[in-house]
DNA sequence: CTGAAAGCGCTTACAG
DNA sequence: CTGAAAGCGCTTACAG
């Protein structure tokens, strides 16, 4: 199809003229705003095809009084879990005519606070914010912009929130470790002990359920969920246990696959074999979980489902009163435990 | 600051009224379109601060005849290299008032072709497309939408392109491997042997320069740049060499860190120690390169620089004729070789 | 350096 | 189910 570069883009008027109907009717067909007779619809669709018309979203948004963009804040896009989530959110948002403005909080409490409290540089139809540090009770709504929180939050009912049931996922991981024979399970990760219903709390519950102890010396909070930190803390833990004459753990739960990769390094350097001596399970199912040595057992959240829920909740909040149920809804997405080499025992 | 939720958002008119000037003047201050006297500017800025005014981008874009959005196509957002690049591009685009529409090609030739040839669903001020399969000569411009290609392209001068000098980077990797004593270097990766100035061609040149042979049996193209493929192909190569009574390589160049991680697995399973028996170097410097066993030496591209160049080229192409130099400019960003454990020898 | 006014391309009461 | 017209909030010649 050859196009004349100098001819201006076709507008709604051009389509209307060609189809012999009013702009309003074309608008109704394109936007699905009101029912149109089949005959008219066909004429309009033909005219759209002939002219190659595509709507001008700026004009549409201006007329409808919305910005057409939502903001998505994640710790770092470089982390595959969040990148993947972002991809799904972009897709879900596009379905509703939204463009996603990406924002990175750098995974710090200040970064999270900033995006929630500072004035955005442009108008937004809504915000999806993935928090790691900020507790939901600390989030104060500064205005009426629709907001959905993602992540590991305590259910408190004041702000819309979507995530997986981290507690249940942690519990499943613990049951899996117990099932492959672990008796001394260590937990490594940021946020350990801070919330009541998070993944590490679930692990503890799962261990108790399996009749295993939750040993304080094996609970290791870390400063950041990175591989380096995971390696450092596990190395430290092994040294302390050795010094105390205590045996090493025979199972490790890491809050994140990246942390688990660091744990793998630390265990290897201490001469412990995975999974023979120590079984290791991570969380997130990043692409690299299948390329580590050994491959990593992990918990995989249904990220597409999380994305759909989040964007849907934003849509339900559009124009709704501050006390609408969509403002405070809590939605859960499913997860799956993916067993791989790091917990494979005969 | 308490805000009345029911009061409508302040507009340019409101600011103008408050400052006692015309809309045009406020517009000039906000957009920097024309010089304004210091005294007037101050009055306007004060009024903006008092009203909490923020521009409506839909209205601005409509008036200026642009869409305010550019499209960025990457193979998969889950790959940290591209996620990081996307983050930088979002930042660079925001500086120029652009919102980035994210698109994933899935890393396939069809996906790349589709985004370049199909009609976008909305109007775009430009496109940045990261290609892996499509050769630049195959890219046919279907319309006047500004376009910048990213990736490993042959310089041909017909379409704007930004990337690092992959050939030089490959050469640097080869020189590094030679420097740590490698004599039999294998190359693993998709696209091997397809282009003349790409990273693997650079590796070959670097090896020759160091007086080392480029051994055909050590050149291994793979179907996709993934860890699984890297592991499969290296395993296969080692088996073939063994069967032929040939020694294994003592150095491996992988086109991607992820492929290198797969190579690490294959080497380990074949009983070869890294770096003692085989030195391994990857490409991209993904965050996990510091968490693999051993940590991965790699080539790090200056992604912020790539992003800046790409967005700047798009801006230069705005409204310019099809024969403007920005339509065909080639720009290079710097890179660095990052030595880690996988090539560390005493 | 500043003003008054037209226009960007849509949507949406309102009237039929 | 369809039309004619106002309006969304900006920018930009044009005139001063």
Largest CA distance in chain B: 88
A74 contacts in chain B (CB < 8 Å): none
> Which of A283, A291, A104 has its CA nearest to residue B259?
A291
Burial call B302-333: b when 16+ CB within 10 Å, e when fewer: bbbbbbbbbbbbbbbbeeeeeeeebbbbbbbb
Determine the Cα–Cα distance for residues B215 and A106; give it in Å rounded to an integer.
Answer: 45
pLDDT of residue A136: 61
Whether B62 sits inside 8 A of A67 (CB atoms) is no
pLDDT of residue A195: 62
Dihedral angle of Cα A6, A8, A9, A14, to the nearest 10 degrees: -130
- In this structure, the answer to whether residues A201 and A270 fall within a common structural domain is yes
pLDDT tens for B178-193 read 999 999 999 998 666 6
Determine the Cα–Cα distance for residues A295 and A290; give it in Å rounded to an integer.
Answer: 5
Report if residue A3 sits inside a domain.
no
> Which of A294, A220, A232 has its CA nearest to residue A263?
A232
Asked if A60 CB < 7 A from strand C, the reply is yes
Tell me the pLDDT of chain A averaged across its residues.
88
Listed ranges A27-41, A72-86, B102-116; the one with the highest mean pLDDT: A72-86
Within 126-155 of B, beta carbons closer than 8 Å to A belong to 142-144
> Which of B166, B174, B230 has its CA nearest to residue B198?
B166
Which tokens belong to B196?
């003349």
DSSP A248-261: PPSEEEESSHHHHH
- Using 50, 70 and 90 to split pLDDT, how confident is the model at A5? very low
* Contacting residues for B54 by C-beta, under 8 A, at least 6 apart: A119, A120, A121, A122, A123, B9
Q: What number is the average pLDDT over the span A185-214?
A: 86
A 10 A CB-CB count for B268 gives: 15
Kindly report the bases of strand C lying within 7 A of a protein C-beta atom.
1-5, 7-13
Q: What number is the average pLDDT over the span A308-335?
A: 88
Any B CB within 8 A of A95 CB: no
Determine the Cα–Cα distance for residues A67 and B68; give it in Å rounded to an integer.
Answer: 12
How many Cα atoms are found within 13 Å in the side-chain-facing hemisphere of B282?
29
Determine the Cα–Cα distance for residues B10 and B130; give it in Å rounded to an integer.
Answer: 40
Whether B5 sits inside 8 A of A101 (CB atoms) is no
- In this structure, the answer to whether residues B205 and B263 fall within a common structural domain is yes
pLDDT tens for B137-165 read 566 665 678 999 998 766 666 889 999 99
How many Cα atoms are found within 13 Å in the side-chain-facing hemisphere of A245?
0
pLDDT of residue B216: 92
pLDDT of residue A104: 86
> Helix, strand, coil: what percent of chain B each, to 5?
45, 15, 40
- Using 50, 70 and 90 to split pLDDT, how confident is the model at A142? low
Burial call B106-123: b when 16+ CB within 10 Å, e when fewer: ebeeebbbebbeeebebb
Determine the Cα–Cα distance for residues B104 and B324; give it in Å rounded to an integer.
Answer: 29
Any B CB within 8 A of A118 CB: no
Looking at the predicted structure, is the pLDDT value of residue A194 above 90? no
Asked if A35 CB < 7 A from strand D, the reply is yes
- In this structure, the answer to whether residues B89 and B193 fall within a common structural domain is no
> Which of B250, B224, B206 has its CA nearest to residue B76?
B224
Of A67, A83, A264, the CB nearest to B78: A83
Report if residue A345 sits inside a domain.
no
Whether B83 sits inside 8 A of A77 (CB atoms) is yes
- In this structure, the answer to whether residues B219 and B271 fall within a common structural domain is yes
Q: What number is the average pLDDT over the span A78-89?
A: 90
- In this structure, the answer to whether residues B295 and B182 fall within a common structural domain is yes
Determine the Cα–Cα distance for residues B253 and B189; give it in Å rounded to an integer.
Answer: 9
Any B CB within 8 A of A30 CB: no
pLDDT of residue A224: 84
Determine the Cα–Cα distance for residues A21 and A15; give it in Å rounded to an integer.
Answer: 9
Which residue is the nearest neighbor of D6, CA to C1'?
A: A63
User: Shortest Cα distance from A51 to chain B (angstroms)?
Assistant: 13
In angstroms, how far is D13 C1' from B36 CA?
Answer: 18
Q: Please, which residues bridge with residue B252 across strands?
A: B186, B280
B115 contacts in chain A (CB < 8 Å): none
Whether A87 sits inside 8 A of B79 (CB atoms) is no
- In this structure, the answer to whether residues B79 and B149 fall within a common structural domain is yes
Q: C-alpha angle with apex B336: B335 to B339, nearest 5 degrees?
A: 150
pLDDT of residue A1: 30
Report if residue B61 sits inside a domain.
no
Instruction: Give the N- to C-terminal CA distance of chain A in Å, as an integer.
Output: 62
Q: Which of A136-145, A286-295, A334-343 has the lowest mean pLDDT?
A: A136-145
The total of structural domains in chain B comes to 3
- In this structure, the answer to whether residues A232 and A283 fall within a common structural domain is yes
Which residue is the nearest neighbor of D11, CA to C1'?
A: B63
Report if residue B342 sits inside a domain.
no
Asked if B57 CB < 7 A from strand D, the reply is no
Asked if A62 CB < 7 A from strand C, the reply is yes
Q: Is A289 helix (H, G, I), strand (E, B) or coil?
A: helix
Q: Please, which residues bridge with residue A74 across strands?
A: A104
Within 305-344 of B, beta carbons closer than 8 Å to A belong to 322
* Residues composing chain B: 346
User: Shortest Cα distance from A209 to chain B (angstroms)?
Assistant: 33
**Does residue A334 contact residue A302 with C-beta atoms inside 8 Å?**
yes
> Helix, strand, coil: what percent of chain A each, to 5?
45, 15, 40
Asked if A32 CB < 7 A from strand D, the reply is no
In angstroms, how far is C14 C1' from A24 CA?
Answer: 13
- In this structure, the answer to whether residues B155 and B282 fall within a common structural domain is no
CATH code at position A319: 3.40.50.2300
pLDDT of residue B254: 97
Quickly list H helices, A165-281: 166-179, 199-209, 227-243, 257-269
In angstroms, how far is D7 C1' from A12 CA?
Answer: 17
Determine the Cα–Cα distance for residues B86 and B304; give it in Å rounded to an integer.
Answer: 10
Report if residue B178 sits inside a domain.
yes
**Does residue A274 contact residue A260 with C-beta atoms inside 8 Å?**
no
**Does residue A167 contact residue A195 with C-beta atoms inside 8 Å?**
no
pLDDT of residue B194: 59
In angstroms, how far is C6 C1' from A35 CA?
Answer: 34
Report if residue A317 sits inside a domain.
yes
- In this structure, the answer to whether residues B158 and B201 fall within a common structural domain is no
Whether A291 sits inside 8 A of B83 (CB atoms) is no
Asked if B59 CB < 7 A from strand D, the reply is yes
Quickly list H helices, A72-179: 80-95, 109-117, 166-179
**Does residue A262 contact residue A125 with C-beta atoms inside 8 Å?**
no
Whether A67 sits inside 8 A of B59 (CB atoms) is no
Whether A291 sits inside 8 A of B230 (CB atoms) is yes
Helix (H) or strand (E) holding B46: helix B38-51
Sign of torsion, CA A203 B290 A297 A246?
negative
In angstroms, how far is D13 C1' from B65 CA?
Answer: 15
For B48, list phi and psi in degrees, rounded to 5: -65, -45
For B220, list phi and psi in degrees, rounded to 5: -125, 100
User: Shortest Cα distance from B57 to chain A (angstroms)?
Assistant: 7
**Does residue A282 contact residue A169 with C-beta atoms inside 8 Å?**
no
Looking at the predicted structure, is the pLDDT value of residue A137 above 90? no
pLDDT tens for A307-320 read 999 999 999 888 77
Query: Closest nucleotide (CA of B35 to C1')?
Result: C1
- In this structure, the answer to whether residues A173 and A125 fall within a common structural domain is no
B52 contacts in chain A (CB < 8 Å): 119
Any B CB within 8 A of A99 CB: yes
Chain A interface test: which of B66, B102, B341 (most A C-beta within 10 Å): B102
Quickly list H helices, B100-165: 109-117
Report if residue B60 sits inside a domain.
no
- Using 50, 70 and 90 to split pLDDT, how confident is the model at A3? very low
Report if residue A171 sits inside a domain.
yes
**Does residue B89 contact residue B110 with C-beta atoms inside 8 Å?**
no
- In this structure, the answer to whether residues B247 and B174 fall within a common structural domain is yes
Of A99, A228, A291, the CB nearest to B101: A99
Q: Which residues of chain B carry a pLDDT beneath 50?
A: 1-6
**Does residue A155 contact residue A190 with C-beta atoms inside 8 Å?**
no
B62 contacts in chain A (CB < 8 Å): 56, 58-59, 62
- In this structure, the answer to whether residues A179 and A328 fall within a common structural domain is no
- State the residue range of the domain holding A27: 12-55
Do the bridges between strand A298-301 and strand A335-338 make them parallel or antiparallel, or are there none, so unpaired? antiparallel
CATH code at position A35: 1.10.260.40
Query: Closest nucleotide (CA of B123 to C1')?
Result: C9
**Does residue B21 contact residue B45 with C-beta atoms inside 8 Å?**
no
In angstroms, how far is C8 C1' from B126 CA?
Answer: 20
- Using 50, 70 and 90 to split pLDDT, how confident is the model at A4? very low
Determine the Cα–Cα distance for residues B213 and B177; give it in Å rounded to an integer.
Answer: 13
Any B CB within 8 A of A83 CB: yes
* Residues composing chain A: 346
Of A9, A54, A226, the CB nearest to B121: A54
């Amino acid at each position: 199809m050859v196009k004349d570069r100098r001819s201006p883009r076709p507008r709604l008027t051009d389509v209307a003229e060609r189809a012999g109907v009013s702009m309003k009717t074309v608008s109704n067909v394109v936007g699905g705003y009101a029912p149109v007779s089949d005959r008219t619809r066909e004429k309009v669709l033909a005219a759209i095809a002939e002219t190659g018309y595509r709507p001008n979203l700026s004009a549409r948004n201006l007329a409808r009084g919305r910005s057409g963009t939502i903001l998505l804040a994640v710790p770092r896009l470089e982390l595959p879990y969040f990148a993947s989530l972002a991809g799904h959110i972009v897709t879900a948002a596009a379905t509703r005519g939204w463009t996603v403005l990406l924002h990175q909080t750098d995974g710090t409490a200040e970064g999270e606070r900033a995006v929630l409290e500072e004035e955005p540089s442009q108008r937004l139809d809504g915000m999806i914010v993935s928090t790691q540090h900020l507790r939901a009770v600390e989030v104060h709504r500064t205005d009426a912009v629709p907001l959905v929180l993602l992540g590991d939050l305590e259910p408190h009912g004041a702000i819309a929130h979507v995530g997986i049931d981290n507690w249940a996922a942690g519990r499943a991981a613990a049951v899996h470790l117990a099932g492959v024979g672990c008796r001394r399970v260590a937990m490594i990760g940021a946020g350990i002990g801070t919330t009541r219903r998070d993944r590490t709390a679930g692990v503890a519950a799962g261990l108790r359920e399996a009749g295993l102890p939750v040993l304080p010396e094996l609970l290791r909070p870390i400063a950041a969920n990175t591989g380096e930190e995971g390696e450092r803390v596990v190395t430290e833990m092994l040294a302390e246990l050795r010094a105390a004459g205590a045996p090493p753990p025979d199972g490790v739960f890491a809050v994140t696959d990246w942390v688990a990769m660091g744990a793998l390094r630390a265990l290897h350097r201490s001469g412990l074999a995975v999974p023979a001596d120590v079984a290791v399970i991570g969380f997130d199912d990043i692409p690299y979980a299948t390329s580590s040595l050994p491959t990593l057992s992990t918990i995989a959240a249904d990220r597409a489902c999380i994305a759909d829920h989040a964007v849907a909740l934003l849509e339900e909040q559009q124009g709704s009163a501050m006390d609408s149920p969509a403002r405070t809804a809590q939605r859960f997405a499913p997860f799956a435990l993916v067993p791989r080499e790091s917990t494979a025992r005969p």
